[in-house]
Amino acid sequence: MVRALNPESSERHRSVPIKDSITSVPGYPNKLVIFKLPASSYWWVRYYADKKIYKRTTKTEVKRDALEAAKRFYDDVNLRMREKGFDGIPAEINVAEVATFARVTRLLMESEKAKVKRNQLSKISYDNMLLRFNKHILPFFSDRDVRSINYRILDEFLQKISQQEEPKLSVSTISAYMGLTRKVLQHAARMNFLDNIPEFPKVGVEDKSRGWFTVSEYKDLVKTAKKLMDKKVEWRMHSSGEGGRLLNRDTTDDCALWCIEHCLGLNCAVDCR
């Protein structure tokens, strides 16, 4: 049998809203409020409508995010009330629950870890992802509601890591960080925490000009390629700075590569002069 709580019971006090924490949501009816309980560090939302009280935890300690969660809760309750046969909100449904970036990241990494076990992802790739999340991404986004992340916030993150001096991050590394951030938001969308993925600022590309051949060098390349046709050659391969090993290869397979090595003065075992 369920017993009534004594008015002086500390158990009852832990489930009663802290009076000073009760906050109305700007622009919404006064019947919609957020508050805190002695028994929880999270903000809760309460909405009184149609002579009933609807209440849910937001699962966030950030007041700004709790206010946004209360707005979602208000819209959801009103929408359900318009439906025929409305009989309250199922206990397992909580649109007010805030999905933090850190929480979605944990869910993503659990999925990535499963890929490692299935040999779909290398352990090194997994560890690199984890390292980058802990290095810069989570310290910036950790407690943010994924629904609150927009272009402005993403651009702030991009500027922050771009301005880092020690060590200076390359454009490719910055792109990798932004790519992992996008990956988390994509996972949030798959988990129905997000309806749309925000637009991302463009990182750009690093200008690295490549070497080129002069007309004379191209002529030497063609001339050497013709001489090497249908010949067996030895090609020395180096690894980890420990000398090399000789491979017998048919020039018809990699003729261009051997010719380039020869013309550029690299270690080629063929004397085709």
Order across the sheet with 32-36: list the strands. Answer: 23-24, 32-36, 43-49, 52-57
pLDDT, one tens digit per residue, over 119-141 is 999 999 999 999 999 999 999 99
Average pLDDT on 92-119 reads: 89
Task: Give the single-character DSSP code of 234.
Answer: E
What one-character-per-residue DSSP string does 67-82 give? Answer: HHHHHHHHHHHHHHHT
The whole-angstrom separation of Cα 189 and Cα 147 is: 10
pLDDT confidence of residue 27: 93
Give the tens place of pLDDT for each residue, 22-46. 999 999 999 999 999 998 888 999 9
C-alpha 245/C-alpha 185 separation (Å) is 48
> What does the pLDDT look like over 145-160, one tens digit per residue?
898 899 999 999 999 9
User: C-alpha angle with apex 63: 32 to 139, nearest 5 degrees?
Assistant: 150
Tokens (6 digits) for 152: 């402005």
Residues with Cβ within 8 Å of 86's Cβ and at least 6 positions away in sequence, in order, are 80
Please, which residues have CB within 8 angstroms of residue 245's CB and are 6 or more apart in sequence? 236, 237
Poorest-pLDDT segment among 104-118, 187-201, 259-273 = 259-273
pLDDT band at 206 (very low <50, low <70, confident <90, very high): low
Residues 228 and 39: their CA atoms lie apart, in Å, by 82
Query: CA 253, 255, 257, 258: dihedral to nearest 10 degrees?
Result: 120
Judge if pTM exceeds 0.85. Answer: no
How far is Cα 196 from Cα 188, in angstroms, rounded to an integer? 10
